[in-house]
Amino acid sequence: MARESESGLPIEPVYGPDALAGWEPAEKLGAPGAYPFTRGVYPSMYTGRPWTMRQYAGFGTAAESNVRYKQLIANGTTGLSVAFDLPTQMGHDSDAPIASGEVGKVGVAIDSIEDMRVLFDGIPLDRVSTSMTINAPGALLLLLYQLVGEEQGVPADQLTGTIQNDVLKEYIARGTYIFPPKPSLRLIADIFKYCRTEIPKWNTISISGYHMAEAGASPAQEIAFTLADGIEYVRTAVAAGMDVDDFAPRLSFFFVARTTLLEEVAKFRAARRIWARVMKEEFGAENPKSLMLRFHTQTAGVQLTAQQPEVNLVRVAVQGLAAVLGGTQSLHTNSFDEAIALPTDKSARLALRTQQVLAYETDVTATVDPFAGSYVVEKMTDDVEAAARELMGRVEEMGGAVGAIERGFQKSEIERSAYRIAQETDSGERVVVGVNRYTIDVEEPYEPLRVDPAIEAQQAARLARLRAERDQAAVDTALTALKKAAQGTDNVLHPMKDALRARATVGEVCDALREVWGTYVPTDAF
């Protein structure tokens, strides 16, 4: 009797050669590092060196987060990944009334260049790759990072890292949007242009399916809607006058890794193949790097449980293995206590050690694409690809990603998938260890990490001091220039950088753009 995958596709009890009847290996697979990149984007993959081990971290004040980053680097992290608090993500200062109760809670509070300076104090930006999970205000945080690099004496062309900068998925699944889609896409195109000349090694966008998956998207939905967003970004940049090969090599993606290991491996392989063909056939990209779907992976936070949290260590290990077998370029492994609170130092270290065990104590790095030729994985790759392409076709029929967003299509599809998962869990059809099976009567006590509520007052005091000490006339002049650029067609990043250098705050810069572009109001579901 066949089971169903997370995408609702059949999984047969046994697969054999007939599963790949009429299958052309050269067309479907190619060699590792060669079109269509099913087997990986680099010829040697992890046989040369393992993936970049990132740990997503940030909480409270910049000073507290700086201490955690230095601990992670000392423990072997090869790349930092910054979590920002909700006010920062929404473009509000810590002393804004709307920020009350949220300062420093889900990430670090960054209000100005002074906070960014403290965040990276003693961390050499020419030797560390930094990923920043920031979207609507992504340009601001990138420019603050560049300014801090300049203060350290690091040329901008030596900075490496990524800003998430994927606002379309915010309208679909996450909600930390600021501006309407049209000016948001204009801002992203400006970032592409700016980085091409100013910060050429920077990955200008990380097109994210992770948050869709956390909202309930199936693997097929995750890659379909993510790649559809990617197509929208490419079209926007091309329409703005850029050659596809000038910016496409710096595009990157961000996916989840679930415990359903086989389908996850198939999902990653299918995504690479679809993207390579789209970039070649629709956009005429000629640079091989433009065809490569390079991606970061985070293990599935939505699958972690507050019940028997130590079991999450096992889940994260399986999820991390799925990402590695699927060919990720970098990986964040969640801490076992994240369903309860922010990770403690110990749990964050254990999460990193999970990656190190995979890299150095197993043999999965000894050969490229260990599952190539597997009857089940190759068939599942074809099935996931077909399901994703069907969804992408429906998005195209609505005019592309923005048109589908305006009709609520992606959100509605993801909500249906989430509802199905909830029903299966409630009925016991879907087993969640420790939740609906293998439960215990009394949970062991656990002391979570707690953020000091005094942080909000501390940040407000820092802001008051900054506003009292800075040259207000210079700030006003810079913000006026920014609004003028936003009203016209000039690249807004240049006046934005001037404003931030003059110590304008994140909230003030975003308010200037709100004044010109307005804010997004979501439509009803499709």
Q: What's the pLDDT at 21?
A: 84
CA distance 243 to 234: 10
CA distance 297 to 313: 17
Which residue matches tokens 């190619």?
30
480: pLDDT strictly greater than 60? yes
pLDDT digits (tens, 9 = 90+) for 287-329: 999 999 999 999 999 999 999 999 999 999 999 999 999 999 9
Considering the domain architecture, whether residues 89 and 148 belong to the same structural domain is answered as yes
Considering the domain architecture, whether residues 418 and 465 belong to the same structural domain is answered as no
What percentage of residues in the chain have a pLDDT greater than 70?
A: 99
- Of 247, 219, 214, 215, whose CA–CA distance to 233 is shortest? 247
The whole domain housing 72 covers 46-363+371-427
In-domain check, residue 89: yes
Helix, strand and coil content of the chain, in percent to the nearest 5, comes to: 50, 10, 40
Number of domains present in the structure of the chain: 2
CA distance 218 to 3: 15
pLDDT digits (tens, 9 = 90+) for 457-474: 999 999 999 999 999 999
Considering the domain architecture, whether residues 283 and 163 belong to the same structural domain is answered as yes
Written as six digits, the tokens of 151 are 């203060």
In-domain check, residue 27: no
Q: What's the pLDDT at 421?
A: 96
Mean pLDDT in residue range 177-188: 97
CA distance 342 to 2: 40
Q: Which positions ≥6 away from 106 have C-beta within 8 Å?
A: 59, 83, 85, 86, 342
In-domain check, residue 348: yes
Q: Are 388 and 79 in contact (CB under 8 A)?
A: no
Domain boundary among 384, 410, 427: 427
In-domain check, residue 297: yes
In-domain check, residue 22: no
CA dihedral (303, 306, 308, 313) in degrees, to 10, reads 50
- Of 271, 282, 341, 283, whose CA–CA distance to 312 is shortest? 341
Q: What's the pLDDT at 23?
A: 82
Considering the domain architecture, whether residues 358 and 460 belong to the same structural domain is answered as no
Q: pLDDT tier at 524 (50, 70, 90 boundaries)?
A: low
In-domain check, residue 119: yes
Mean pLDDT in residue range 384-391: 98
CA distance 258 to 218: 10
Mean pLDDT in residue range 481-498: 98
Considering the domain architecture, whether residues 331 and 473 belong to the same structural domain is answered as no
Q: Are 331 and 54 in contact (CB under 8 A)?
A: yes
Considering the domain architecture, whether residues 460 and 417 belong to the same structural domain is answered as no
- Of 502, 511, 503, whose CA–CA distance to 483 is shortest? 511
Written as six digits, the tokens of 377 are 């994985």
Mean pLDDT of the chain: 95
The whole-model pTM stands at 0.93
526: pLDDT strictly greater than 80? no
Considering the domain architecture, whether residues 403 and 509 belong to the same structural domain is answered as no
pLDDT digits (tens, 9 = 90+) for 260-297: 999 999 999 999 999 999 999 999 999 999 999 999 99
13: pLDDT strictly greater than 80? yes
Q: What's the pLDDT at 335?
A: 95
Mean pLDDT in residue range 398-414: 96
Considering the domain architecture, whether residues 199 and 244 belong to the same structural domain is answered as yes
Mean pLDDT in residue range 200-209: 96
Considering the domain architecture, whether residues 459 and 409 belong to the same structural domain is answered as no
- What Cα–Cα distance (Å) separates residue 18 from each residue in 12, 27, 387, 508? 12, 18, 20, 62
Mean pLDDT in residue range 211-237: 97
Considering the domain architecture, whether residues 131 and 178 belong to the same structural domain is answered as yes
Q: What's the pLDDT at 422?
A: 96
26: pLDDT strictly greater than 80? no
Q: What's the pLDDT at 55?
A: 81
Considering the domain architecture, whether residues 148 and 185 belong to the same structural domain is answered as yes
DSSP secondary structure of 260-299: -HHHHHHHHHHHHHHHHHHHHHTT---SGGGG---EEEEE
Q: What's the pLDDT at 525?
A: 47
In-domain check, residue 60: yes
Q: What's the pLDDT at 58?
A: 82
In-domain check, residue 439: no
Considering the domain architecture, whether residues 384 and 510 belong to the same structural domain is answered as no
Q: Are 496 and 139 in contact (CB under 8 A)?
A: yes
Mean pLDDT in residue range 345-361: 95
Q: Which positions ≥6 away from 175 have C-beta within 8 Å?
A: none
The values of phi and psi at residue 255, to 5°, are: -125, 165
Q: pLDDT tier at 522 (50, 70, 90 boundaries)?
A: confident
The CATH number linked to 76 is 3.20.20.240
